[in-house]
Chains A and B, each alone.
Chain A
Amino acid sequence: MADFRLPANSRIRKGVTHKAPEAAREVRAFRIYRFDPDSGENPRVDTFELEAGECGQMVLDALIRIKSTVDSSLAFRRSCREGICGSCAMNIDGLNRLACITSLHDLGREVHIYPLPHMPVVKDLVPDLTHFYAQYASVKPWLLAETPAPPDRERLQSKAEQEKIDRPAACILCACCSTSCPSYWWNSDRYLGPAALLAAYRWIIDSRDEASGQRLDALEDPFKLYRCHTIMNCTDVCPKDLNPAKAIAEIKKMLVERQS
């Protein structure tokens, strides 16, 4: 059920401020969500002031700068720093994005950074994605086919068939979409969320897959699919320019069409 308030152990306290050095000419402030599982205390928001010239280009550069020069206990995920691994997804100034490809030039003097919304927090900016991955696994994101593959080559597709799955298959599972979705916030226990549904769609329309009917059966449920109310936050924030909202609409259409 929708609970609009944060539970008691999740309410945010005032944090500490790490001032920029006196000599700093231009200051940028980063207000960052902190949670230390070992302290037993509620989360807080710390302020880190950096000399603007030392922040680097991207939000991730600034986070690394903070970690290496101000507070080494700051925890966040990162890997590729070029928008392909999806590790550094977080809520930056109110929108879910990848820190590594979010330019500081597009943000104000003050940058607010929180973990992906409505997720259990492991530490600081690191959410627990166990459930999210389990939902992805639940749509069986692999090829289901009775027909054996040709012995001498791969299962072939036409160019047009490939192009259909080109975009949906480019999902990096960063979870920006699912955690931007209010329906997912309130019903993530039963609603699969945009990322898992985009993956389901990608396999339903794959010309080599033979289990479309079975995949559609699995989604025909008041919660798994139909909690999508086309709010469009998913498509709005996808850092890879994919379109989970359209994928979900297409699945709904297929379910209606196969009834007639």
Chain B
Amino acid sequence: MADRPLSPHLSVYRMHRYTVLTSITNRFTGVVLSAGLIVLVYWLMAAAGGAKAYARALGVLSSGLFQAIFLLLLAAFSYHLFAGIRHLIWDSGRGLERRQSQRSAWLLGIASLLLFAGLAWWACLHWAIAGAGGPQ
């Protein structure tokens, strides 16, 4: 029966469930990190392009926009790192009971926030020093 309708899925399923949230965030941060590689490639190409190109790239990369992008990448990295470790543990056959995965979802959220806070603090400190003309 080709004319049978398809029952709704994304529009009715509970999206704020720990299972769905942690999984989709892991995917999303993975995509963000992949896109972030472009920044790395740009930096490497500039480094290979000589002192002048490198100095110009540093100027671009220390702009406000790139600082925001950098913070976003740090956030994505913080989450993706711990989510990946969680998957690694799952793949070993451990932590797959319902209660355990609920607990590890919380742990994942807290750990990634803490790591992000630390990394962001370090980055801001670095920018503050660089802005004040301190040691690069």
> Which residues of A pack against B, CB within 8 Å?
4, 6-7, 9-10, 12, 33, 35, 37, 42-43, 91, 93-95, 112, 114-122, 127-128, 180, 182, 185, 229-233, 235-236, 241, 243, 245-246, 249-250, 252-253
Contacts and interface: CB of A to CB of B under 8 A. Distances in A.
Contacts of A118: 6-7, 9
Interface of B: 1, 3-15, 17-20, 23, 87, 90-93, 96-98, 101
A252 B101 contact: no
9 contacts: A94-B14, A95-B13, A117-B9, A121-B5, A185-B9, A233-B19, A236-B17, A243-B97, A250-B93
Closest 7 CB pairs of A and B: A94-B14, A10-B5, A117-B9, A120-B4, A246-B96, A118-B9, A115-B7
Helix, strand, loop or mixed for chain B's interface?
loop
A236 B19 contact: yes
A4 B11 CA distance: 9
A33 B101 contact: no
A141 to B, nearest CB: 22
B93 A117 contact: no
Given A122-B4, A235-B97, A253-B93, 18 more contacts: A6-B6, A7-B6, A10-B5, A94-B12, A94-B14, A94-B17, A95-B14, A117-B8, A119-B7, A120-B1, A128-B1, A180-B13, A229-B23, A232-B19, A232-B96, A243-B97, A249-B93, A250-B93
